[in-house]
A and B are shown apart, each in its own frame.
Chain A
Amino acid sequence: MRSALLDVAELSKRFPIKAGGGSFSRLRRRFAGGPEKLPHVHAVDDVSFTIGEGETVGLVGESGCGKSTLVRVLARLLDPSDGSVRLGGRDLSLMPARRFARDPDRAKVQMVFQDAGESINPRFTAFAAIADPLRRIKGLGGVALTAKVERTAAECGLPEALLSRFPHQLSGGQRARVGIARAVALEPQLLILDEPTAALDVSVQVVILQLLQRLKSELGMSYLFVSHDLSVVRLLCDRVIVMYLGRIVEVGPAREVFERPLHPYTQALVAAVPRLGQPPTQDRLQGEPRSPIDPDPKVCRFYGRCPQGTERCTVEMPLLRKSGAAREVACHLIAEVQT
């Protein structure tokens, strides 16, 4: 077992939402009934997991399940509501996101954003985009900075001639390389990839995926790879975490999870992936997810959409439990089968 690089424990993130009515009615309510209790969206709810050194972990789930909020808390762009995020022993969650931006450990967790065309400053050349974090966080300058930018660009397959170009003068694949180079230049221990190939054609996607694979073995990073493309997750990841409405429902080795999904949600997810040479399966998820606004803590989040839900699922929230050597699943039905 590899030692854990990242240890996330009981992490939650809740966002307050504005109650109805204007500021006057809110003021009146506050005077009438003491401190106002705002409803909250439970975007991430009691999430615990680890990422080992050199490991690639996939994070999957439908839009709105909290993947993006989770990775933004891990990258310390957002402050968690509860829980801890330990990186190499240090609890990063204790420091506010604003202050963490200037912390030397900022370099250790880096992120590659979904659409490089949108996440690179349009007024920065490729060189400036890669150089900016090096200057701010590593304090590099002058010849050392130029050398580092050029070396990283070369590692990421960006020819030197392109470094003077602006994002709009680059192709989608080249922009993706700039986004990766910018993050990798800081030599992070953990690289968070938020759908890095979603905007790319298959032919370009292949090159970027293979680049990521090569960089990982050369630089010894761990990856947290967020994607909704399960056929890509299957190829790239050692382990996979499946989220549903803010909670982890299943964790396990990627190959095993996709070949033999245990949780009813994972089963529906895997069944929906188109496969070459096979007719579509018939298992479909009906209905819509439950509301994430102040959900009942006793009811399984998947209840109502789950084809196998029972009485017990409405009175007791299923917790993530071991199921076999390397797998965990949060479902009453599975736990009963195992014991």
Chain B
Amino acid sequence: MTAAAGLAVENLSVEFRTRSGIVKALDRVSFAVAPGETVALVGESGSGKSVTAYAIMRLLDDAGRITGGRALLGDVDLLAATPAELRRLRGRRIAMVFQNPRSALNPIRSVGHQIADVLVEHEKLSRRAAAAKAVELLRAVGITDPARRASAYPFEMSGGMCQRVMIAIALAARPAVLIADEPTTGLDVTTQAVIMDLIGELSSSIGMATVFITHDLALAAERARRIVVMHAGHVVESAPVAALFAAPRHPYTAELVAATPASVSVLDDLASIPGSLPDLRRADLPACRYLDRCRRTQPECARNVSMVAPGAIHAFACRNPLP
């Protein structure tokens, strides 16, 4: 499967070497995002959402190792790209919005300069032209008085404004793929709505494929076309939003929906998910990593579980799925 543009991740596996053993953080993660489409990666903390993003961007730290798989950006496999190729691709073809804008921005460089850097590097603009374009981009992401704000430093701006700056940096070179890792966590709902509108508008106007990482299922449902549910480094289910909520097939997806406050009208109807994530350092990790938390376990779950209907519109990894 090769996407003409967009992003196709196939069997991505990542391990971390730690003092207490090897953590199998991702195991054969696959999903695809078409141009103009938004796909949400959801799951609890520790499910591997951010590791997936960092692996695709090739930003894993030294302890992390990609042990298999491909991440195709058009015809280019990002996981096999050389550092020189990556420098050309990152920022221009694929860009990322990080979770904490304040720590992701350079604290001692004005935000206008940080946006202009991308334009000088990838669009080959002159410094003067890049500075003018940076002001234009600040206006496009809804910052009032952009000419004055371009010379501001990140600490002089609110969290919401820093996030807009980071979106301006990510979108400066009109990338084909955007990875947004919890772009609105820690922001107010009113700001969240504006930021998500902005990403949505830009992705549909330039046909950008967007990978939207979030732990907020209600937000994912509102903003994405498809949802990919992750648990302990596995993709457990992948489906269009409506199908996923109407008839979740994987027990974990169903539990996740039942634990989302927006899904109920009284507190007593909220259901918690029993147990916690398995220790990913274990040598004898069962084939299904949800095994110990699952209420529908069968004997063969420990040995062999694979994706049912991989690549289809509604795929899930369960031997005893919900009807």
A residues sitting closer than 8 Å to B (CB atoms) are 62-64, 171, 201-207, 209-210, 213, 228-232, 234-236, 268-269, 271-280, 284-288
B270 lies within 8 A of A269 (CB):
no
- B176-194: CB near A (< 8 Å → 1, else 0) gives 0000000000001111111
Q: Tell me if A62 and B188 are in contact (CB < 8 A).
A: yes
Q: Which residues of B contact A204 (CB under 8 A)?
A: 272
Does B262 belong to the interface (CB within 8 Å)?
yes
Stretch of B7-15, B86-94, B212-220, B309-317 contacting A (4+ beta carbons < 8 Å): B212-220
Confirm or deny: B44 has a beta carbon within 8 angstroms of a beta carbon on chain A. Answer: yes
Q: How far is the CA of A269 from the CA of B256 in the complex (A)?
A: 25
**Inter-subunit contact A276/B219 (CB<8 Å):** no
User: Are B221's CB and A277's CB within 8 A?
Assistant: yes
User: B215 is contacted by which of A201, A277, A285, A288 (Cβ under 8 Å)?
Assistant: A201
- Chain A residues whose CB sits within 8 angstroms of the CB of B188 once the complex forms: 62-63, 228
Give the chain B neighbours of A229 by CB distance below 8 A: 261
Nearest CB on A from B254, distance (A): 12
Given A62-B191, A228-B189, decide whether A207 and B218 contact each other with a Cβ distance below 8 A.
no
A274-B219 contact, Cβ under 8 Å, with A209-B267, A269-B189, A280-B193 = yes
A268 to chain B, nearest CB (A): 6
CB distance from B297 to the nearest CB of A (A): 18
Interface Cβ pair total, 8 Å cutoff: 103
Chain B neighbourhood of A234, CB < 8 A: 261
Query: A282's closest neighbor in chain B, by CB?
Result: B197
A230 to B270 Cα, complex, angstroms: 15
A42: shortest Cβ distance to chain B, in Å? 18
A-B contact pairs, 17 of them (CB 8 A): A63-B159, A171-B276, A202-B256, A202-B260, A203-B255, A209-B267, A210-B268, A228-B189, A230-B189, A235-B261, A235-B266, A268-B190, A269-B189, A271-B193, A272-B189, A274-B221, A275-B218
Docked-complex contact B222 and A203, CB < 8 angstroms: no
Residues of A with C-beta under 8 A to B302: none
Contact among A63, A269, A279, A286 for B222, CB-based, below 8 A: A279
A268–B189 Cα distance when bound, in Å, is 10
Q: How far is the CA of A285 from the CA of B276 in the complex (A)?
A: 39
Is B271 part of the contact surface with A, judged by Cβ < 8 Å? yes
Residues of B in contact with A (beta carbons under 8 Å apart) = 44-45, 142, 144, 158-159, 188-194, 196-197, 215-219, 221-223, 242, 245, 255-256, 259-268, 270-273, 276
B273 partner residues in chain A, CB cutoff 8 A: 203, 206
Chain B: CB-nearest residue to A213: B267
A284 contacts B44, CB within 8 Å? no
Q: Give the shortest distance, in Å, between A41 (CB) and chain B (any CB).
A: 15
- Pair B222/A284 contact, Cβ less than 8 Å: no
Q: Are B272 and A207 in contact (CB under 8 A)?
A: yes
The answer for the CA separation of A14 and B273 in the assembled complex, in Å, is 44
Q: A63-B188, A202-B259, A235-B267 are in contact. Are A284 and B272 (CB under 8 A)?
A: no
Q: Choose one: B45, B158, B223, B276; the contact of A280 (CB below 8 Å).
A: B223
Residues in B whose Cβ lies below 8 Å from that of A210: 267-268, 270, 272
In the complex the two chains form, is A273's CB within 8 Å of B276's CB? no
Further pairs besides A209-B267, A236-B267, A273-B262: 10, Cβ < 8 Å: A62-B188, A62-B189, A64-B158, A206-B271, A232-B261, A235-B261, A269-B190, A274-B222, A277-B221, A277-B245
Shortest distance between the CB of A51 and any CB in chain B (Å): 19
Report the bound CA distance from A62 to B191 in whole Å: 9
Contact with A231, one of B192, B261, B266 (Cβ below 8 angstroms): B261
Alpha-carbon separation in the docked complex, A203 to B252 (Å): 11
In angstroms, how far is the closest chain A Cβ from the Cβ of B11?
Answer: 27
